Amino acid sequence: MRWVRYLLVLALVLYLLTGVVQVRQGERAVVRRFGRVLDEKPTPGLWVGLPWGLDHVERVEVDTMRSVQVGAADRADEEGVIPVGQLLTGDHNLVNVQVVVYYKVRAEEVALFVVEKDRVEPMLARAAEATMAEWVAARTVDEVLLRGKNAMRGELIERVRARVEPYRLGIEVLDARVAKIAPPDEVKPDFDSVSRAQTRIATLRNQAQQEAASRRRQAQAEAYSIAQSARAYEHAAEVLAEQDAKRFEVRLAQYRAARGRNPDYMRQLWQEERGRLFAKMKEGGQIDLLDHYLGSGGLDLLTAPRLPRP
């Protein structure tokens, strides 16, 4: 009977060892003793408690990001039934929306998660569905299809957090992603056609704006160049006028001084200027001596004037 005692001792040891649990890195453990959750939450390492049947230890990963998909599914729905995730826009059009909500377990509230874990993802799904419906119903179909993937994300995170927080599920909503926003398959070709037309309109508008901006910059550059040229011409004309005024003042002073010495000084100046003018006109072929027009019959004034010099 000795071997029977050995077997009993071995069985007892193995039974006692069921109270030893290895909690891995990134996990927290929740211990239920006789069905009651203990305040102690074992951290990573070896934890020794009561054997199986007295203690029930549940390990939970708290560093893992989890996700729940909400809304339109890729499978076909039953005929006559409104597809999951098909929502009504503010202008009474239908769109299919699918989002993914990311969350993780709060390490300090792991016991709440263990108690409520069966309700966590359904509650997240209902909160996300309500938020999606509100957001889509407040906007037109064009705004939903064109801006929804980026614009919905922020409100989705904020509202889902606010909706699930009072239920104390022991989780934290980290992020959300709008995976799909599309019209129903029955009208998708029409929406695609409208989308292409809108894209073309937007492209043409952008091209027109770029062309207008380019022409505006060119006109501004030309206006600046003209203004610079005008200022340069104004400055040059002002300098020349000042120089002419100074020369006139000098000549006037010379004239007044010379007139006191020579009363016929003005006549002399006139003859000098006239001589210079005639010399210049003669050089250009505009006047010539009358000797060239004297013939046997006298002065021939009908003779054609000489051609100007090349």
**Where do the structural domains in the chain lie, given as residue ranges?**
2-61, 66-75+82-185, 264-310
Residue 80 has pLDDT above 60, yes or no: no
Tokens of 98: 């699918």
Q: How many CB atoms lie within 10 A of CB 42?
A: 20
Specify the DSSP class assigned to residue 307. Answer: P
Mean pLDDT, residues 217-221 = 93
Closest residue by Cα to residue 83 from 183, 169, 173, 157:
183
Amino acid at 273: E
Question: What was the pLDDT predicted at 71?
Answer: 87
Angle among Cα 200, 204, 209 to the nearest 5 degrees reads 145
Q: Which CATH architecture group holds 66-75+82-185?
A: 2-Layer Sandwich (3.30)
Question: pLDDT tens across 141-178, in order?
Answer: 888 888 888 899 999 999 999 999 999 999 999 999 99
Residue 299 has pLDDT above 60, yes or no: no
Query: How many CA atoms are closer than 13 Å to the CA of 71, on its beta-carbon side?
Result: 24
Q: How far is CA 245 from CA 129, 231, 239, 240, 241, in A?
A: 89, 21, 10, 8, 6
Average pLDDT of the chain is: 80
Alpha carbon 197 to its chain's center: 23
Backbone φ, ψ for residue 117 (5° rounding) = -60, -30
Q: Of the given ranges (68-82, 217-231, 296-310), which has the lowest mean pLDDT?
A: 296-310
Non-local CB neighbours of 192 within 8 Å, separated by 6+ positions: none
Helices (H), the chain: 2-17, 110-137, 141-164, 188-261, 265-283
From CA 222, how far away is CA 46, in angstroms rounded?
Answer: 82
Q: How many CB atoms lie within 10 A of CB 256?
A: 10
Amino acid at 129: E
From CA 33, how far away is CA 51, in angstroms rounded?
Answer: 10
Question: What was the pLDDT predicted at 31?
Answer: 75
From CA 246, how far away is CA 264, in angstroms rounded?
Answer: 24
* Radius of gyration of the chain measured on its C-alpha atoms: 51
Non-local CB neighbours of 307 within 8 Å, separated by 6+ positions: 285
Question: pLDDT tens across 227-278, in order?
Answer: 999 999 999 999 999 998 998 888 778 777 777 777 777 777 777 777 777 7
pTM value surpassing 0.85: no
Residue 310 has pLDDT above 80, yes or no: no
- Tell me if 48 sits within 8 A of 17, measured CB to CB: no
The more confident residue out of 126 and 282 is: 126
Mean pLDDT, residues 289-298 = 58
